[in-house]
């Protein structure tokens, strides 16, 4: 298969920026949708879906979550996925063992949730008052909240819905072990390749390492799983770099036409998620700087990559104040692309963003 970086770049955009569809179909097509709690101007999952779902508005995923047959959980990072993919990760075998006291607390909470059907963390805390513990960031958080998080990760609970961004939980029915653990592991890897391909070899390896967080029970199988993946996936070498994509991709149209569109993408959008691939495709470094001290930021708190045709030409920082939408743009070349086409499409994208942020009646 003859190829070059320009062809791979266009293929990456075409594969993930599919024609807008329904919310459920978009999530199922992704296989996994990364989530992030920051709203600037909306959560990353909403910013990602707005390009792939017809008439999508910020918050639609949270509002319709219970009707979609999807689960919230950790995969390679935290997000949403179809039920059938979620089940492949369970039962999990966490690396950290619980004390006898922690197991007792979990059993009591499990019974409490079973009796009530769905619980909010404040209800559990009010009932049990487990006190406070130190969290990963050195601050103080309620022990019950951490316990619920851990029970969710272990597959004892599921997220039933959210209230103002706070997860409420219900009982999750246990998943029996996969009849073929190797096939289940391979299927999860294929979900990632389908979403993020074409992938340079180093990024494929990185994703398999991150997957160990979702399936810690298979951590020791990472290397053999990587070798199997490289054998079954389609493969091309460009500029001495091995690139991987789903098996059968060789028969796809490999140089699709470029759509003249401007899009402000989420920081974790599949087009830009792989920072290694980003630099190979576009020749500059995009960085997510929300957790970077302000004096050290170069692009902004929540800079959204700016896609024009098949080029990431800059970034935008978007803010809201009442009904007003503020968009501050920066360009890699120091100026906007020339021509009326870009200006027209940029105006259309800002208007689309404004509609996306407008509350539903």
Q: What is the pLDDT of residues 126-159, one digit of tens each?
A: 888 766 665 544 444 678 888 999 999 999 999 9
- Asked if residue 59 is part of any domain, the answer here is no
Give the pLDDT score at 289.
96
* Residue-wise pLDDT tens digits, 204-232: 999 999 999 999 999 999 999 999 999 99
Give mean pLDDT, residues 118-128: 89
Give mean pLDDT, residues 318-336: 93
- Asked if residue 49 is part of any domain, the answer here is no
Give 252 or 248, the one with higher predicted confidence.
Answer: 248
* Residue-wise pLDDT tens digits, 189-208: 999 999 999 999 999 999 99
- Most confident listed range (93-102, 117-126, 198-207): 198-207
Give mean pLDDT, residues 222-250: 92
Decide: pTM greater than 0.85. Answer: yes
- Asked if residue 199 is part of any domain, the answer here is no
Give the pLDDT score at 1.
43
Give the pLDDT score at 169.
98
- Asked if residue 120 is part of any domain, the answer here is yes
- Asked if residue 347 is part of any domain, the answer here is yes
Q: Are strands 199-200 and 241-245 parallel, antiparallel or unpaired?
A: antiparallel
Give 268 or 139, the one with higher predicted confidence.
Answer: 268
Domain count, the chain: 2
Average pLDDT, the chain: 92
Domain boundaries, position 114: 100-161
**Burial track 18-56 (b if 16+ CB lie within 10 A, e otherwise):** eeeeebeebbbbbbbbbbbeebbbbbbbbbbbbbbbeeb
Give mean pLDDT, residues 26-45: 96
Does the pLDDT value for residue 125 go beyond 90?
no
Give mean pLDDT, residues 27-51: 97
Give the pLDDT score at 229.
97
- Asked if residue 43 is part of any domain, the answer here is no
Confidence of residue 251 (pLDDT cuts 50, 70, 90): very low
Give the pLDDT score at 54.
97
- Asked if residue 275 is part of any domain, the answer here is yes
Does the pLDDT value for residue 252 go beyond 60?
no
Does the pLDDT value for residue 326 go beyond 70?
yes
Give mean pLDDT, residues 7-25: 95
Domain boundary among 110, 142, 161: 161
Q: What percent of the chain has pLDDT over 90?
A: 83
Give the pLDDT score at 328.
97
Give mean pLDDT, residues 263-277: 98
- Asked if residue 234 is part of any domain, the answer here is no
Domain boundary among 141, 161, 181: 161
Domain boundary among 140, 161, 182: 161
């Amino acid at each position: 298969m003859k190829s070059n970086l320009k062809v791979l770049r266009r293929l990456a955009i075409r594969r993930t920026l599919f024609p807008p569809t329904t919310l459920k179909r978009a999530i199922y097509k992704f296989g996994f949708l990364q989530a992030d709690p920051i709203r600037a101007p909306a959560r990353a999952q909403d910013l990602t879906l707005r390009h792939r779902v017809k008439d999508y508005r910020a918050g639609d995923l949270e509002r319709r979550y219970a009707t979609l047959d999807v689960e919230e959980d950790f995969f390679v990072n935290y997000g949403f996925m179809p039920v059938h993919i979620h089940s492949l990760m369970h039962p999990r075998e966490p690396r950290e063992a619980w004390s006898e006291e922690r197991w007792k607390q979990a059993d009591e909470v499990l019974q409490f949730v079973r009796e009530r059907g769905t619980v909010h963390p404040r209800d559990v805390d009010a009932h049990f008052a487990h006190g406070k513990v130190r969290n990963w960031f050195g601050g103080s958080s309620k022990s019950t909240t951490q316990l619920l998080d851990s029970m969710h990760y272990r597959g004892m609970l599921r997220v039933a819905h959210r209230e103002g961004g706070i997860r409420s939980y219900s009982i999750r029915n246990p998943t029996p072990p996969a009849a073929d653990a190797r096939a289940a592991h391979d299927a999860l890897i294929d979900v990632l390749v389908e979403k993020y391909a074409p992938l340079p070899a180093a990024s494929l390896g990185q994703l398999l390492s991150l997957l160990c967080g979702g399936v810690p029970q298979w951590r020791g199988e990472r290397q053999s799983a990587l070798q199997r993946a490289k054998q079954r996936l389609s493969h091309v070498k460009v500029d001495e770099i091995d690139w991987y994509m789903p098996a059968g991709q060789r028969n796809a149209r490999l140089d699709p036409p470029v759509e003249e569109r401007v899009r402000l993408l989420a920081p974790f959008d599949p087009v830009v998620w792989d920072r290694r691939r980003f630099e190979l495709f576009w020749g500059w470094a995009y960085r997510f700087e929300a957790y970077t001290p302000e004096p050290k930021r170069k692009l902004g708190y929540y800079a959204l990559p700016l896609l024009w045709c098949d080029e990431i030409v800059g970034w935008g920082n978007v803010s809201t104040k009442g009904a007003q939408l503020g968009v501050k743009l920066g360009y890699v070349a120091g100026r906007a692309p020339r021509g009326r086409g870009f200006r027209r499409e940029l105006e259309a994208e800002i208007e689309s963003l404004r509609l996306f942020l407008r509350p539903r009646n």
